[in-house]
Amino acid sequence: MSCINVSNQKELEEIAEKLGKLVNSGDVICMVGDLGAGKTTFIQALAIGLGVKDYVTSPTFTLINEYEGRIPLYHFDVYRINHIDEMENLGYEEYFYGDGVCAIEWADLIKDILPYDYLWIEIKITGAESRQICFIGTNDYYREIAGELLEK
């Protein structure tokens, strides 16, 4: 695991936007962190990096929003998932193994059905504005991306 400290929202967004420029078709980004940590903010900035023109909002009630960018962005928020059936009814496999980038908020709630490889991002609240962002890549590809994000 590698971590970086940011002192304000702007610094968090810079990292997320950079990630949006680095990701490729088929990538899966898992976001975890407490309410208010900045998961949605992170994905909004990631969307800008991906070239998404629409305004990104949290899909807490719809579970998923799709956006057109350089490659499609599939934004999941699985906070309200009670049963894995709901993911199956959503046809999650076509997203996870499809041709876009999946960004999944509260990914820890659906760990059983995540693909083998993904980039795991945890945002920790360290102060009113400051955050610690930690990255775990499950394979070399994601570890390399994490490495690039840590470079200033």
Partner 1 sequence: MKLLAIDTSSLTATVALLDGDRLIGEYTLNHKMNHSQKLMPMIEELLNSCNTKPGEIDVFAVSLGPGSFTGLRIGIATMAAMAQALDKNVVGVPTLEALAYNLFNIKGLICPIIDAQKDLVYTALYQWTDGNMVEIMEQQVIKIDKLISMLKEKSEKIFFIGDALERFSSNLEDGLGQQFAVPPFKFLIPSASSVAGVARIKLEKGIKTDIIPIYMRKSEAEVQYEKRMKGSE
Shortest distance in whole angstroms from residue 65 CB to partner 1: 17
Of residues 81 and 136, the one with the C-beta less far from partner 1: 81
φ, ψ (nearest 5 deg) of residue 135: -120, 135
The whole-angstrom separation of Cα 115 and Cα 96 is 7
3-class secondary-structure state, position 32: strand
Of residues 85 and 151, the one with the C-beta less far from partner 1: 85
Shortest distance in whole angstroms from residue 23 CB to partner 1: 16
The whole-angstrom separation of Cα 119 and Cα 51 is 20
Of residues 95 and 135, the one with the C-beta less far from partner 1: 95
Cβ distance 100 to 25 under 8 Å? yes
Residues forming the site for partner 1 (CB under 8 A): 25-26, 82-85, 88, 91-94, 97-99, 110, 112-113, 116
Shortest distance in whole angstroms from residue 101 CB to partner 1: 13
Of residues 38 and 100, the one with the C-beta less far from partner 1: 100
Shortest distance in whole angstroms from residue 107 CB to partner 1: 13
Cβ distance 144 to 137 under 8 Å? yes
The whole-angstrom separation of Cα 70 and Cα 62 is 23
The whole-angstrom separation of Cα 81 and Cα 115 is 18
Of residues 53 and 83, the one with the C-beta less far from partner 1: 83
- Give me the long-range contacts of 93-96 (CB less than 8 A, separation at least 24): 95/64, 96/28
Shortest distance in whole angstroms from residue 127 CB to partner 1: 35
